[in-house]
């Protein structure tokens, strides 16, 4: 129930003018508030600072297995780093490749490799199979979609639900169309809604019957340990489930420490079935002699084990939680009955859903008042939100005071856009 619906036209106009006046006032302040990207704030970066000091002597650089991390060698990751990620993510070491600083880079390379060489089970490289497509649960992560767009892979949007992608639609599409080669998933604390896939969704993914023999689920578990409350949000194990179904070759799994230690200076991993690893490694070995083992060792020495990571994540949670709550409390206080929003238990984003046709207008109004939002539509393939209603809110990067001010302004913008729409509809 929209509280504005009981107002007369005159009341609405008067309310809108008050909102405009406030926004103009903010606009004149020349603010520069940024809610665009899921970047950790400075306070979060500081909690990993000690990691940079854990390696200094040459002894620090020696692995237990006698590998000197400073020299060439070890394509698929330092054994100690494999062990750490294996325990953290419950993935056997033999299925892990520990790589460089960016899981996005691994995902791009994985698509590029599939285009040039195919995947295990491909009759030909994807790039030699004519027009190919990916399913894109939407709203989703804009950088996933940018990889498809760069590669000329057609993106087919699939609706997101609080339980994950609309699996009826997914199953139907992949069953009949062999040109559909993949789907992008952020299965836990999804970007931007913060949804975690239900057990049923994961099981349906694990049992997916695809017309393409070389279909892959790109399982970007970016927020695997990124709870913001003192609880464990369970995500069913995709590898275990897909193994039961004899379907484990269909999964490419990605994760990183970008939002555990340092974005850009973390460690990223890929995991896959043995058949996939056997297909990938020779190509990877043409690409590089190896990744940064000193940085892998830095992470190992700092965290020691998976518990070390979990303890560290609690410190992140303590910083992030009040920010999520500030956003959600402001939305509750100001936008109830006007808009809806997600209330994630982890991850980096809140998704705000405004009435149809209002998202671009809110973006514009906010920009004029000094608040930069992620572009309306960014979380949809080709930047096209068909109902123009989704806005992604990233509360981690600004100072707490800036965040509060930015959200207050955002709420005014939403109200104004909604009233504008009602007035124009009523003409």
Nearest Cα to 301, choosing from 59, 129, 60? 60
* Candidates 163-171, 289-297, 308-316, 379-387; binding stretch for a copy of itself (CB under 8 A): 289-297
Binding marks (x or -) toward a copy of itself, 296..335, rule CB under 8 A?
----------------------------------------
Determine if 290 is a binding residue for a copy of itself (CB under 8 A). yes
Comparing C-alpha atoms, which of 86, 100, 379, 56 is closest to residue 258? 100
**Nearer to a copy of itself among residue 229 and residue 382 (C-beta):** 382
Are 180 and 135 within 8 A, CB to CB?
yes
Report the SS3 class of residue 62.
strand
| Neighbour tally for 132: CB within 10 Å | 22
DSSP string across 351-380: EEEPSTT-HHHHHHHHHHTTEEPPPTTTTS
Tell me how far, at minimum, the Cβ of 161 lies from a copy of itself, in Å.
28
Q: Which of 21, 211, 278, 289 binds a copy of itself (CB under 8 A)?
A: 289
Q: Which of 403, 143, 405 is nearest to 263 (CA)?
A: 143
C-alpha 276/C-alpha 251 separation (Å) is 9
**According to DSSP H, which parts of 36-91 are helical?**
42-46, 79-89
> From residue 15, how far is each of 186, 410, 418 by CA, in Å?
40, 16, 11
**In the complex, what is the shortest distance from the CB of residue 127 to a copy of itself, in angstroms, rounded to a whole number?**
6
Write the Ramachandran bin of 71: left for phi over 0, alpha for psi from -120 to 50, otherwise beta: beta
Q: Which of residues 169-198 bind a copy of itself (CB under 8 A)?
A: none
How many amino acids of this chain bind a copy of itself (CB under 8 A)?
Answer: 58
The CB-of-264 to a copy of itself minimum distance in angstroms stands at 5
- What's 185's DSSP letter? E
Q: Does 147 bind a copy of itself (CB under 8 A)?
A: yes
Specify whether the CB–CB gap between 279 and 293 falls below 8 A. no
Q: Give me the least distance between CB of 48 and a copy of itself, in Å please.
A: 8
Tokens 């930069």 locate to 372
Helix orientation angle between 103-117 and 142-151, rounded to the nearest 10 degrees: 30
Q: How far is the CB of 329 from a copy of itself (least distance, A)?
A: 27
Buried b (16+ CB within 10 A) or exposed e, 235-249: bbebbebbeeeebbb
Kindly indicate which of the ranges 41-49, 180-188, 365-373, 382-390 contains the residues binding a copy of itself, using the contact rule CB under 8 A: 41-49
Indicate which single residue of 45, 245, 306, 423 sits in contact with a copy of itself (rule: CB under 8 A). Answer: 45
Q: CB under 8 A: which stretch of 36-44, 195-203, 244-252, 311-319 binds a copy of itself?
A: 36-44
286 contributes a contact to a copy of itself by CB under 8 A = yes
- Contact partners, residue 330, CB within 8 Å, separation at least 6: 404, 407, 408, 411
Distance CA 390, CA 185 (A): 18
| 131: contact with a copy of itself by CB under 8 A | no
Query: Least distance in Å: CB of 295 to a copy of itself?
Result: 7
Measured from the CB atom, the residue of 152 and 386 that comes closer to a copy of itself is 152
Query: Least distance from C-beta 108 to a copy of itself, angstroms?
Result: 4
396 lies in the binding site for a copy of itself (CB under 8 A): no
Give the range of 16-24, 34-42, 177-185, 356-364 binding a copy of itself by CB under 8 A.
34-42
* 64 near a copy of itself, judged by CB under 8 A: no
Residue 356 lies near a copy of itself (rule: CB under 8 A): no
Position among 9, 11, 17, 52 found at the interface with a copy of itself (CB under 8 A): 52
Give the shortest CB-21-to-a copy of itself separation in angstroms. 35
> Residue 54 or residue 236: which is nearer to a copy of itself going by CB?
54
Give the footprint of a copy of itself on this chain (CB under 8 A): 37, 39-40, 42, 45-46, 48-49, 52-53, 55-58, 60-61, 68-73, 100-102, 104-105, 108-109, 112, 115-117, 127, 143, 146-147, 149-151, 258, 262-265, 282-283, 285-295
């Amino acid at each position: 129930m929209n509280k504005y619906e009981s107002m007369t036209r005159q009341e609405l106009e008067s309310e809108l003018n008050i909102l405009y006046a406030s926004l103009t006032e903010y606009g004149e302040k020349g603010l520069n508030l940024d809610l665009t990207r899921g970047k950790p704030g400075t306070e979060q970066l500081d909690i990993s600072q000690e990691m940079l000091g854990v390696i200094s002597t040459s002894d620090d650089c020696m692995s237990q297995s006698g590998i000197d991390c400073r020299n060439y060698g070890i394509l698929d990751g330092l054994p100690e780093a494999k062990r750490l990620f294996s325990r953290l993510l419950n993935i056997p070491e033999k299925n892990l490749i520990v790589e460089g600083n960016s899981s996005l880079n691994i995902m791009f390379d994985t698509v590029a490799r599939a285009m040039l060489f195919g995947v295990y089970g491909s009759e030909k490289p994807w790039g030699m199979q004519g027009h190919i497509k990916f399913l894109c649960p939407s709203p989703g992560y804009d950088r996933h979609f940018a990889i498809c767009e760069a590669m000329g892979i057609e993106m087919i949007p699939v609706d997101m639900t609080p339980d994950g992608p609309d699996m009826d639609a997914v199953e139907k599409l992949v069953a009949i169309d062999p040109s559909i080669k993949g789907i992008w998933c952020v299965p836990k604390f999804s970007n931007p809604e913060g949804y975690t896939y239900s057990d049923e969704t994961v099981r349906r993914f694990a049992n997916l019957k695809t017309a393409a023999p070389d279909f892959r689920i790109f399982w970007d578990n970016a927020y695997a340990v990124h709870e913001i409350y003192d609880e464990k949000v369970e995500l069913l194990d995709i590898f275990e489930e897909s193994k039961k179904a004899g379907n484990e070759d269909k999964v490419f799994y990605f994760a990183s420490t970008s939002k555990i230690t340092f974005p850009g200076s973390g460690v990223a991993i890929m995991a896959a079935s043995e058949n996939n690893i056997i297909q990938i490694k020779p190509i990877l070995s043409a690409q590089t002699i190896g990744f940064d083992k000193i940085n892998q060792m830095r992470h190992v020495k700092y965290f020691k084990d998976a518990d070390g990571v979990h303890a560290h994540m609690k410190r992140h949670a303590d910083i992030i939680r009040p920010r999520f709550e500030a956003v959600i409390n402001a939305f509750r206080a100001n936008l109830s009955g006007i808009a809806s929003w997600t209330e994630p238990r982890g991850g980096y984003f809140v998704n705000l859903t405004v009435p149809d046709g209002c998202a671009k207008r809110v973006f514009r109004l906010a920009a004029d008042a000094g608040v930069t939002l992620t572009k309306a539509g960014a979380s949809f393939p080709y930047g096209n939100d068909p109902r123009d209603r989704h806005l992604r809110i990233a509360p981690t990067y600004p100072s707490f005071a800036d965040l509060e001010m930015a959200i207050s302004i955002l709420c005014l913008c939403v109200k104004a856009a909604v009233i504008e729409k009602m007035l124009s509809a009523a003409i």
